[in-house]
């Protein structure tokens, strides 16, 4: 991986003087084309050996191109807001919108690398690497261009450089304790890096190792690779063109789908309901005031047909909570800023901090429900969403954010009755639209899509809870109970670990 | 202020049982109208005496209305990101978009109140109060509805309540050390609060003091006031209708405007330029590596006619900086999310943290330039912007963020020459559009507007620097020098303070 980058590559002054202005102008023009098309973002990740020129390279790129459309991000220790959410949250925040460029120092590799070096947590390191690979795959699938550079120096060259820099009063400040530490443990770090780079060398996002000793070689190498990659990416057939060929998911040959088999008509008498509601709300309230609740967070997801009772169920939950503690996020069409980002971006931004609860009224599952059925997302896009969603929810779970997902199931007759009743009640009319009737015509498609969804995303860590909801009272109690059980289980689990 | 709220107000159970369902339904319907019109946001601020029911009231409002369109925010000690920016930054982040509701606990009153009580910083308290009054005026001018409630208890009632709550094991957790402290210093705190409330009692946003002892009285009082206020706000004539009558700003009767009088043709030879450029960039770089630079931040603003050389000047600044340290923010038309917020919101979100630099390529001054000239903003709106902007910049300055503003001035002939040269250079063509030619036709309007702008926003703390820019070399050196001087002055000032 690094051998070719220890050969002593060099570009002489004359060649650089000839090539630099041409490269620079082409980069600038290409940047403006990118901005003009605004159909994909470019992420340039700079990693490598200290003093191999990461900072200089970033400065040069900002100088060559228009810095108004480039953002750069370095990552120190996570701040309060970042620490209170899954580790990848901070990186999602720095993703550039379509048409723009971001330069990330180290990026999502910094974390696992330090983890690996600071101890023997090999398993966690492995898992982080897997996670990174999947994250990068997602970026590529969303159309993004990710360019990963490793600026390299051999151990000897690094040692000499640090010595020289330290000797001169004017440059000594450039050498940090971290750099010296790196130099002392060079072999070990390079071994770990090699395995990390090799594991994350994907066709969509290969590592580009560049020898960092000669500034002119480095500059032209990185610059030309960026130019070439962006041009290639622009020339690709569009995502939609590329993906029509994926084979569809077929419904079971006998037509029997999971969601056809649910019992829907469980009963619960009004008096029993009242008593149980109060008991459950009290239980939920107490759980959220448990001291250890401050170390966890809760994401509640509601999906189901129109008029299945999502709103009413949500209000029975929130009524038990302190207003300071929760947020309800209704998911409708994405905003302009959200459309310029990968699909999951708009959910990442709403994740609860520790001690908080976010209730999603509809969710990321829209990808495999309405977007699948209406053809808003190409088939390959919603099909890969199953895996991406499972990965997303696993990250939440790892960060001690439990994910509690409800599918509220009603019969087609019950929906009709509720639609009609809404139309007859003055102040409920806002709740029923033309679109609801159109969706109803696609009832069967929704049952098929939702059955696939449950099959493919009901994981052990974030299972779907299928709630028969023809009787609202029954549904509400079951939902509260399930939520309480889930929180209680997590509070108990933490205790054992300690 | 508080006398009427110590009378022992009460609503009996029967009245409450009759009125509550009606109020609740009306609130819900009104909330949906608000959402549907989406032309103003509602901010409900809840302050008051401990145990007077702030939390309960918020919970009730979330229960009565649709919690999916209400966000609530409590404010503890500021976190890392908040501490690194002006104090109001955290409140700007919580403003709801048009059509939505936010409930803020204490909101922007919490800070100055504690400051006042914790010491004798009367002057700072006074200034904070002024700032709050202006902020609330801005919210109202932007069309927002701000409802400020103070839930009150007399000192005796508070004491009794705390005693009762503390005595019962099940409720003792509700009483915090802070509450006890409040109770012990009741008189003093109430005196300070009274003066604070009286000072911030504006026609657009009066305080509504509600006795908090009886839960039913409290609930109906707050609920009905909210309902009434939102309905009134909806019935108002639209902002545009109300404001056409403001008198215009007239140009000087002799026609001589500030920006007509600038020298534009200062010269600087290429060789001198090169030497000075390197010296200035070196100086800037050193300044940003000064240890005390980590305690300050820099906002640089560029305004000027099209082709005045903003982009080139920005690149000469950024070339001297580390890519990790700055961000260039080009200001174009606001996005959907930005349009749903007060005008300055989209600049607040880009403010640099300590140790960082943000360069705005065009800025909040668009309000009094292009928006004034094109009529995008009603006259009353851009006229009040002068004061709002001065206040905004003063807040930055207070937080040790210096604001360095450049107006790049070129002659009309010089602009023509640059436009023509751009059209003749292949890779510069992206820089010249139809709109640039249309703006050029309004040259005179721009000079008038920019002269007014400089007159009204060149404050001692954030003066305008008017740069003759027919000669690009000269302009770039002057800009770098001015920026260096400004940073140096602030670094020096901090030192003296210590």
| Residue A459 phi, psi (nearest 5) | -90, 165
Q: Which two tokens stand for residue B98?
A: 């048009």
Q: Which residues contact A335 (CB under 8 A, 6 or more apart)?
A: A346, B335, B336, B337
Chain A within 8 Å of B249 (Cβ-Cβ)?
A: no
Rg (CA), chain B: 27
Checking DSSP bridges between strand B70-73 and strand B101-105, what pairing results, if any? Answer: parallel
Any idea what DSSP says for residue B46?
A: E
Residues of chain B scoring pLDDT < 50: 496-498
Q: Which residues contact B291 (CB under 8 A, 6 or more apart)?
A: none
Q: What is the ipTM of this complex?
A: 0.72
CB distance B427–A28 less than 8 Å? yes
Residue A304, SS3 per DSSP? strand
pLDDT for B245: 56
- The number of C-beta contacts closer than 8 angstroms across A and B is 108
Q: Closest Cα of chain A to B245: distance in Å?
A: 35
Angle, in degrees to the nearest 10, between helices B379-398 and B443-457: 40
Q: A293 to chain B: which residues are within 8 Å by CB?
A: none
CB A319 within 8 A of CB B65: no
pLDDT for B427: 63
CB distance B72–A28 less than 8 Å? no
Distance CA A408, CA A138 (A): 29
CA angle B13, B18, B24 (to 5 degrees): 110
Q: What is the pLDDT along chain A (498 residues), one digit of tens a residue?
A: 788 888 889 999 999 999 999 999 999 999 999 999 999 999 999 999 999 999 999 999 999 999 999 999 988 888 888 889 998 999 999 999 999 999 999 889 877 777 777 665 677 777 788 888 889 988 988 899 999 999 999 999 999 999 999 998 777 877 888 889 999 999 988 988 887 888 788 777 889 999 999 999 999 999 999 999 999 999 887 655 555 556 777 777 777 888 988 999 899 999 999 999 999 999 999 999 999 999 999 999 999 999 999 999 999 999 999 988 999 999 988 988 899 999 999 999 999 999 999 999 999 999 999 999 999 988 888 988 998 999 899 999 999 999 999 999 999 999 999 999 988 876 666 677 888 899 999 999 999 999 999 988 998 889 999 999 999 999 999 999 999 999 999 998 655 443
pLDDT for B256: 84
Instruction: Using CA coordinates, name the residue in chain A closest to B24.
Output: A427
CB B112 within 8 A of CB B196: yes
Tell me which residues of chain B, numbers 188 to 247, contact chain A at a CB-CB cutoff of 8 Å.
none
pLDDT for A187: 92
pLDDT for A49: 94
CB distance B73–A324 less than 8 Å? yes
The closest alpha carbon to A68, from B288, B274, B85, B350, belongs to: B350
Chain B within 8 Å of A167 (Cβ-Cβ)?
A: no
Checking DSSP bridges between strand B42-48 and strand A357-361, what pairing results, if any? Answer: unpaired
Instruction: Using CA coordinates, name the residue in chain B closest to A71.
Output: B327
CB B411 within 8 A of CB B306: no
Q: Distance from CA of residue A439 to its chain's centroid?
A: 29
Q: What is each CA distance from B405 to B256, B310, B465, in whole angstroms?
A: 23, 12, 6
Tell me which residues of chain B, numbers 53 to 82, contact chain A at a CB-CB cutoff of 8 Å.
55, 58-59, 61-63, 66-74, 79-81
Beta-bridge mates of residue B326: B357
CB distance A74–B103 less than 8 Å? no
The closest alpha carbon to A196, from A128, A146, A135, belongs to: A128
Q: Distance from CA of residue B30 to its chain's centroid?
A: 28
Q: Closest Cα of chain A to B255: distance in Å?
A: 37
CB B479 within 8 A of CB B274: no
pLDDT for A206: 87
Give me the residue from A28, A63, A323 closest to B319, CB to CB: A63
Domains assigned to chain B:
3-236 (3.40.50.300), 262-497 (3.40.50.300)
pLDDT for B130: 82
Number of C-beta neighbours around residue A283 at 10 A: 18
Q: State the Cα torsion B214-B220-B226-B230 to the nearest 10°.
A: -170
Any idea what DSSP says for residue A254?
A: T
Distance CA B181, CA A213 (A): 63
Tell me which residues of chain A, numbers 347 to 406, contact chain B at a CB-CB cutoff of 8 Å.
361
pLDDT for A497: 45
Give me the residue from B62, B81, B103 closest to A81, CB to CB: B81
Chain B within 8 Å of A315 (Cβ-Cβ)?
A: yes
Transcribe B18-39 into DSSP letters. Answer: HHHHHHHHHHHHHHHHHHHH--
Q: A83 to chain B: which residues are within 8 Å by CB?
A: none
Chain A within 8 Å of B324 (Cβ-Cβ)?
A: yes
List the beta strands (DSSP E) in A83-227. Answer: 101-105, 145-152, 207-211
Chain B within 8 Å of A29 (Cβ-Cβ)?
A: yes
Q: Distance from CA of residue A158 to its chain's centroid?
A: 36
Give me the residue from A25, A80, A173 closest to B80, CB to CB: A80
Give me the residue from A105, A322, A328 closest to B68, CB to CB: A328
Distance CA A459, CA A453 (A): 11
What b-and-e string marks burial along B430-455, b requiring 16 or more CB atoms within 10 Å of the CB?
A: bbbeeebeebbeeeebbbbbbbbbbe
CB-based burial of residue B184 (10 Å sphere; 0-12 exposed, 13-18 middle, 19+ buried)? exposed
| Residue B164 phi, psi (nearest 5) | -65, -45
Number of C-beta neighbours around residue B124 at 10 A: 14
Q: What is each CA distance from B281 to A56, A60, B85, B480, in whole angstroms?
A: 15, 15, 27, 7
Beta-bridge mates of residue A464: A405
CB distance B324–A81 less than 8 Å? no
Q: Distance from CA of residue A294 to its chain's centroid?
A: 24
pLDDT for A380: 82
- What count of residues does chain A have? 498
Helices (H), A68-121: 80-83, 89-92, 110-118
Q: B321 to chain A: which residues are within 8 Å by CB?
A: 59
Residue A152, SS3 per DSSP? strand
Q: A335 to chain B: which residues are within 8 Å by CB?
A: 335-337
CB A200 within 8 A of CB A136: yes
CA angle A301, A135, A150 (to 5 degrees): 155
Handedness of CA B283, B285, B290, B295 (dihedral sign): positive
Q: Which of B22, B30, B56, B67 to mutate against chain A (most A CBs within 10 Å)?
A: B67
Residue B363, SS3 per DSSP? coil
For A262, half-sphere exposure in the C-beta direction (CA atoms, 13 angstrom radius) is 20
Chain A within 8 Å of B28 (Cβ-Cβ)?
A: yes
Angle, in degrees to the nearest 10, between helices B434-441 and B443-457: 80
Q: Which two tokens stand for residue A332?
A: 């409708």
Distance CA A305, CA A436 (A): 9
């Amino acid at each position: 991986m690094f051998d070719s980058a220890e050969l002593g590559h060099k570009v002489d002054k004359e060649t650089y003087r000839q090539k630099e202005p041409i490269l620079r102008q082409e980069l600038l023009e290409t940047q403006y084309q990118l901005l003009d098309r605004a159909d994909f973002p470019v992420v340039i990740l700079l990693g490598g050996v200290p003093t191999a020129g990461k900072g200089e390279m970033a400065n040069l790129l900002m100088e060559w191109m228009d810095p108004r459309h480039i953002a750069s991000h370095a990552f120190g220790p996570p701040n309060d807001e970042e620490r209170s959410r899954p580790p990848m949250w901070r990186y999602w925040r720095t993703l550039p919108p379509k048409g723009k460029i971001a330069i990330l120092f180290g990026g999502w590799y910094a974390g696992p690398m330090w983890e690996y070096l600071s101890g023997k947590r090999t398993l966690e390191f492995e898992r982080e690497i897997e996670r990174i690979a999947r994250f990068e795959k997602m970026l590529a699938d969303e159309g993004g261009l990710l360019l990963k550079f490793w600026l390299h120096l051999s151990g000897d060259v690094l040692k000499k450089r640090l010595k020289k820099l330290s000797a001169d009063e004017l440059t000594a400040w450039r050498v940090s304790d971290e750099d010296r530490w790196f130099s002392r443990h060079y072999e070990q770090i390079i071994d770990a890096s090699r395995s990390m780079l090799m594991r994350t060398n994907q066709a969509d996002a290969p590592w580009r190792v560049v020898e960092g000793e000669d500034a002119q070689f480095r500059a032209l190498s990185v610059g030309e690779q960026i130019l070439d990659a962006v041009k290639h990416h622009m020339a690709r057939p569009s995502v939609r063109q590329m993906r029509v060929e994926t084979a569809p998911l077929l419904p079971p040959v006998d037509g029997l789908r999971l969601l056809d088999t649910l019992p829907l008509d469980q009963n619960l008498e009004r008096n029993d309901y009242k008593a149980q509601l109060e008991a459950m709300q009290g239980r939920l309230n107490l759980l959220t005031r448990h001291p250890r609740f401050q170390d966890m967070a809760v994401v509640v997801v509601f999906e189901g047909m129109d008029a299945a009772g999502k709103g009413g169920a949500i209000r029975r939950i929130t009524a038990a909570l302190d207003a300071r503690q929760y947020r309800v996020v209704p998911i409708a069409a994405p905003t302009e800023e959200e459309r310029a980002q990968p699909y999951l971006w708009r959910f990442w931004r709403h994740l609860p901090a520790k001690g908080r609860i976010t209730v999603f009224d509809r969710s990321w599952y829209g990808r495999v429900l309405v977007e699948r059925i209406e053809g808003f997302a190409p088939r390959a896009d919603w099909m890969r969403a199953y895996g991406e969603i499972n990965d997303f929810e696993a990250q939440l779970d790892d960060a001690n954010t439990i994910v509690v997902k409800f599918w509220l199931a009603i019969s087609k007759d019950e929906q009709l009755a509720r639609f009609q009743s809404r139309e007859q009640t003055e102040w409920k009319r806002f709740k029923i639209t033309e679109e609801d009737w159109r969706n109803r015509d696609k009832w069967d498609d929704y049952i098929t899509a939702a059955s696939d969804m449950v099959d493919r995303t009901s994981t052990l860590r974030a299972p779907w809870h299928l709630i028969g909801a023809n009787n609202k009272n029954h549904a509400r109690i079951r939902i509260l109970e399930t939520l309480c059980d889930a929180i209680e289980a997590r509070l108990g689990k933490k205790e054992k670990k300690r």
